[in-house]
Amino acid sequence: MEIYQLKVFLQVARCLSFTEAAEVLNLTQPAVSAKIKSLESELKSSLFDRQGRQIQLTEIGNYLVKEGKKLVELEAEISNKLDNFKQQKLSRLTIGSSYSLANSWLPQLIYQYRQKYPEIETQLKLFSGRKLLCQAVERGIVDLSFCETRFIDCPEILQQEIATIQYGLLTASSHPLAKKNWLSLAEIKQKPLVLLNDRFASRQIFESRLSELGLKLTDFARLETVDTIGLMRTYLTQGNYLGFASNLEFQAELDSQILTSITLQEFALPAGIYVSQSQPSKSSLDNLVSKFLALLSTSTTQANKIDSSLPFPKMRSPAYYVNRPQPSQETIAINLGVQNVTIPTVTAGLIVQRLGLLEHFLPRTGRYSQVKYELHWHNFSLGTPIVKGLHSKKLDIGILGDYPLLESATQRDNEQFEPTLLVSFVSIDPNGGGSAVMVPQTSKLETVEDLQGQTVALPFGSSAHGMLLRTLSNLNLLSQVQLFPLKNSLIQAPRQQKIAAGYAYFSPFHQLASDRGNFKYLYNENTSSLPGFYGVVVRHSFAERYPEIVVAYLKALMAAQYWLANNPSAFSLVSQWTKIKPQILASILSSTQTETSNLFITDWQIRQDWLESHIAQLKSIPTAKHLGKIDLNRWIEPEFLQTAKQN
């Protein structure tokens, strides 16, 4: 029996007329008759005695009138209560949060929201895990959620990165290490360390990063786990401990200088804060949500807002590494040829290596979910051995300057010879001043033309070699200047080798020689000077087999360039690593194109016209004519870079 059937019956009983009841109910008389017949059929009893056009209630009909009114009244009461509940629900916003954000960043936002919209009730629910929070959003238990991890396996949830936070070391301001700007994980292994428990994102992020780097918690000699931020504060201020957390969790202590933050090299990139909600339904609730989201754009919280104009990668969510499968079944060795002292390449090798960026962006899902990586960094003083290593399959990825970069593109009919692909630039020198020719201060030579009949020492196969070949060819001096290779350290060579009248160098070695004051530059009015560049080349078969790894390397390169551009201490730290003065570093490399005094600018966009210009000038030189056979359309592969920029 349906409530609506009962309502029709009660109206007919009240009117004792199907026609009048139909008018009151705004129905046709046949429709009313049909409802009554259906009800009588269901009850298997007559409700009315019909005598012509007159009707009277039967005994069962009278009973149903008495009891039916109670049912209708109860239905109305329930309906009113439901309406009241819905109205109350639509004026309340339920917010889910991770423990760390609920104790630091989120309360100020909720306070601002309540002040601006006092008629809206807010309810905050805390969740100890990413999975529980994701389920709460999916099931409508919460209307919005905030956490430090991404819901990568929940397509029905809308998620957006809204701010960045920084993770690092915390210590009491009186701690012996408090004056340090940078530390590495290796430097703190023997120090007392305190962490929050795994309900907090900082703990999850710390363990995930250790896993990427092949480390584990047991590598730390003295580790304590605590359950609250207050207890961690006590360990830091009274126990001489180092702690790992975000800048938000202890913002008050940092502002009051009770605690000091120290950047960890392995956590140099910022991480994200994410807001999540289920798909909008255009209900009144969505209006409450939209008001809160609008407040985010104008909030004054301590987290840094996202700059959407920067396409650089940030620290990935630890969700990628939660519940990792059983021990690895495959080992992938990656051999990288880098030039760590060649300053224009530091973002492609030295910084990526020191900050552990490649480990962070390597793929660890799908076909790579059970892979163990072995990274082998091979540091060279120039590009020639890198070219040989790529062609002989001993290296997988190489960083090279313009002339050796082109040499890596050459082909040979040899089964053991491995071709390469150009996947990215690293840095560019639009004015072509990256290489130079120098002579001792006591030399009477003043211009490159004065080298006629003289001997020049240089690193064969380097960018400086390519520059000198082009310059001498343009001056018709190729056959009148003798070239021989430098065999010792490029930095020490000018002091040790005296048989050469001049020396050709690439950055930073000619700047270092000039800084010592014993050498001077030869003036060169050569109009054929071309833009210089460094790039990333990959073994062809390696790129075909592991395209995701190539993309991961390019993401690490972008992250290194982001770090260099956004960290005021970057050149100071690179100076410590390379033992080269920060002033010299800054004079060689810039992270922006506004600083025109710098020779090189960090940039990954491949410039095919520059490659063509170099080939056009070099292929007329007898020792370099083989470069004219390079097929740039087959060698340049931009898809890896495009993928890296999109993800």
pLDDT in tens, 307-344: 444 455 667 766 434 344 455 578 999 999 999 999 99
Report d(CA 355, CA 359) in Å as an integer: 9
Could you read off the pLDDT of 125-142 as tens digits, one per residue?
998 877 888 888 888 889
pLDDT score recorded for residue 647 = 66
pLDDT tens figures, 226-280: 999 999 999 999 988 999 999 888 988 999 999 999 999 999 998 888 888 876 6
Q: Please tell me which residue, 336 or 84, carries the higher pLDDT value.
A: 336
Longest dimension (CA), the chain: 136
Helix and strand numbers, DSSP H then E, in the chain? 26, 26
Residue 496, pLDDT score:
46
Chain-wide mean pLDDT for the chain? 87
Q: Are 180 and 318 in contact (CB under 8 A)?
A: no
Structure tokens that stand for 59 in this block: 């005994």
**pLDDT at residue 18 in the model:** 87
3 state DSSP class of 601: strand
Q: Which tokens is 639 given?
A: 């898809």
| Cα separation of the two ends of the chain | 58
DSSP at 590: E
> Under the phi-then-psi rule, with left for phi > 0, alpha for psi from -120 to 50, and beta for the rest, what region is 396?
alpha
Q: What is the pLDDT of residues 141-158, one digit of tens each?
A: 898 899 888 877 677 788
Q: What is the mean pLDDT of residues 61-73?
A: 87
Residue 528 has pLDDT above 90, yes or no: no
Average pLDDT over residues 413-422: 86
CB contact at 8 A, 147 and 274: yes
CA 320-325-329 angle, 5° bins: 115
pLDDT at 548 over 90: yes
Under the banding of pLDDT at 50, 70 and 90, the label for residue 358 is: very high
pLDDT confidence of residue 490: 47
Query: What beta strand segments (E) does 553-606 contain?
Result: 589-590, 600-602
User: Taking each helix axis from N to C terminus, what angle separates 18-25 and 3-15, rounded to the nearest 10 degrees?
Assistant: 130
Residue pair 170/314 in contact by the 8 Å Cβ criterion: no
pLDDT digits (tens, 9 = 90+) for 10-38: 988 888 888 888 888 888 988 988 988 98
Task: Please tell me what DSSP assigns to residue 518.
Answer: S
Answer yes or no: are the C-beta atoms of 465 and 400 closer than 8 Å.
no
Cα–Cα distances in angstroms (integers) from residue 254 to residues 169, 246, 271, in the given order: 12, 11, 19
Please list, residue by residue across 570-607, b when 16 or more beta carbons sit within 10 angstroms of its beta carbon and e when fewer do: bbebbbeebebebebbbbbbbbeeeeeebbbbbbbebe
